[in-house]
């Protein structure tokens, strides 16, 4: 196992920072179109995070760190004290884009801490150090994902069926993924196995993103509807479940895309091991348990239609939580950059 081994997929990345310019792959346009969109203002970055152009817990952390730079660039003439105040305001603003994934808050806090360590410098010097910090957050995530892949790949044996929910892959992080990283590594080692991707209503991250990236990378993926896992498990088609997480509470309860909890209950019923894969930045020591994790509520229109086509009566009442919480008792282990761990973390 080495931090030096790395898989580089020939796929567009969720987020890039080149020569001071921030771009996101617009994931709302996938799988139809690959569109890279420059992010010019901080409100554009906010909207991109809120509207899921960039999404997935680690990716929005990276996007938030670079987003701060985009917002701070126009304030380099301020005295250091006012510049730092501006930074804190922008961090609060960006953090409010999405409440559940703790990686966003984690990355913004890290940027803020770095800036306050250098409060004696002028605004431009602080900005330059913040740019290095954002790039470091991004690079560390690449290393984390590769280590998660290496620590988890042995769970996937020849001939297995592996189920995943939502998209915790290359598109949700710097590159490679969390839940999908062990699959990319097992594939690299030459093992043959099948991946089943839940379509993940209402926004279809499994259909639009997971099945897209896995098939483009040459892995054996089969798309299923969200109401099919029980049937596949009963038929003996699934031997392992790996999902990502947006926030793991200190006691091990894990928030992930709505529907994950149901999959975990099914896995328990059929005695199939259920793993959560995430970097340590997803584990939040300040959140004691799942009940304290804020669950994002999203627009009812995501449920009443898709792609501009109504699939329900316009005036129907809708409940649209974006995430649910799987209790620690249903999780066999947490695949992290430090190995497969269990609480207390």
Q: Give the catalytic positions in this structure.
A: 246
Interface segment toward ligand MRU; rule CB under 6 A; list 69-77, 132-140, 151-159, 167-175: 167-175
Please give the helix or strand (H or E) that residue 256 lies within, else none: strand 254-257
Contact 207, 172 (CB under 8 A): no
Q: Does 322 bind ligand MRU (CB under 6 A)?
A: yes
Q: Does 290 bind ligand MRU (CB under 6 A)?
A: no
Using CB under 6 A, which residues numbered 235 to 274 contact ligand MRU? 244-246, 256-257
Interface segment toward ligand MRU; rule CB under 6 A; list 8-16, 121-129, 165-173, 308-316: 165-173
Nearer to ligand MRU, 87 or 148 (CB): 148
Closest residue by Cα to residue 219 from 276, 161, 273: 161
Binding string, 86-125, against ligand MRU, x = CB under 6 A? ---------------x------------------------
Q: Does 137 bind ligand MRU (CB under 6 A)?
A: no
Binding string, 192-211, against ligand MRU, x = CB under 6 A? -------------x------
Contact 246, 102 (CB under 8 A): yes
End-to-end CA distance of the chain: 21
Residues 6+ apart with CB under 8 A from 276: 179, 242, 243, 244, 245, 248, 254, 256, 326, 331, 333, 334, 335
Dihedrals φ, ψ of 44, to 5°? -65, -40
Nearer to ligand MRU, 114 or 208 (CB): 208
Q: Does 335 bind ligand MRU (CB under 6 A)?
A: no
DSSP for residue 344: -
Rounded Cα distance, 266 and 283, in Å: 24
| Interaction site with ligand MRU (CB under 6 A) | 52, 55-58, 101, 166, 168, 172-173, 178, 205, 244-246, 256-257, 322
């Amino acid at each position: 196992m080495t931090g030096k081994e790395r898989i580089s997929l020939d796929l567009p990345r969720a987020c890039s920072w080149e020569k001071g310019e921030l771009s996101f792959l617009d994931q709302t346009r996938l799988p139809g179109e690959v569109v890279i969109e420059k992010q010019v203002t901080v409100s554009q970055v906010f909207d991109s995070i809120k509207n899921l152009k960039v999404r997935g817990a680690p990716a929005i952390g990276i996007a938030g760190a670079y987003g701060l730079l985009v917002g701070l660039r126009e304030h380099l003439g301020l005295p250091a004290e006012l510049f730092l105040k501006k930074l804190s305001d922008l961090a609060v603003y960006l953090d409010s884009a999405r409440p559940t994934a703790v990686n966003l808050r984690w990355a913004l806090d890290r940027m803020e801490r770095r800036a306050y360590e250098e409060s004696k410098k002028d605004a431009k010097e602080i900005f330059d150090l913040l740019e290095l910090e954002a790039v470091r957050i991004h690079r560390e995530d690449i290393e984390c994902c590769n280590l998660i892949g290496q620590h988890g790949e042995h769970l996937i044996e020849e001939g297995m069926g592996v189920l995943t929910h939502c998209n915790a892959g290359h598109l949700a992080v710097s590159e490679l993924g969390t839940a999908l990283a062990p699959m990319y590594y097992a594939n690299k080692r030459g093992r043959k196995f099948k991946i089943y991707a839940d379509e993940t209503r209402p926004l279809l991250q499994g259909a639009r993103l997971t099945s897209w990236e896995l098939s483009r990378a040459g892995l054996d993926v089969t798309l299923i509807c969200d109401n099919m896992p029980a049937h596949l498990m009963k038929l003996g088609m699934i031997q392992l479940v790996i999902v990502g997480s947006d926030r793991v509470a200190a006691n091990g309860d894990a928030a992930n895309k709505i529907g994950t909890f149901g999959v975990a209950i099914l896995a328990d019923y059929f005695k199939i091991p259920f793993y959560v894969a995430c970097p340590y930045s997803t584990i939040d020591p300040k959140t004691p348990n799942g009940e304290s994790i804020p669950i994002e509520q999203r627009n009812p229109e995501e449920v009443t239609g898709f792609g501009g086509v109504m699939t329900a009566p316009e005036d129907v009442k809708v409940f649209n939580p974006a995430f649910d919480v799987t209790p620690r008792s249903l999780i066999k282990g947490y695949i992290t950059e430090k190995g497969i761990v269990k609480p207390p973390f």
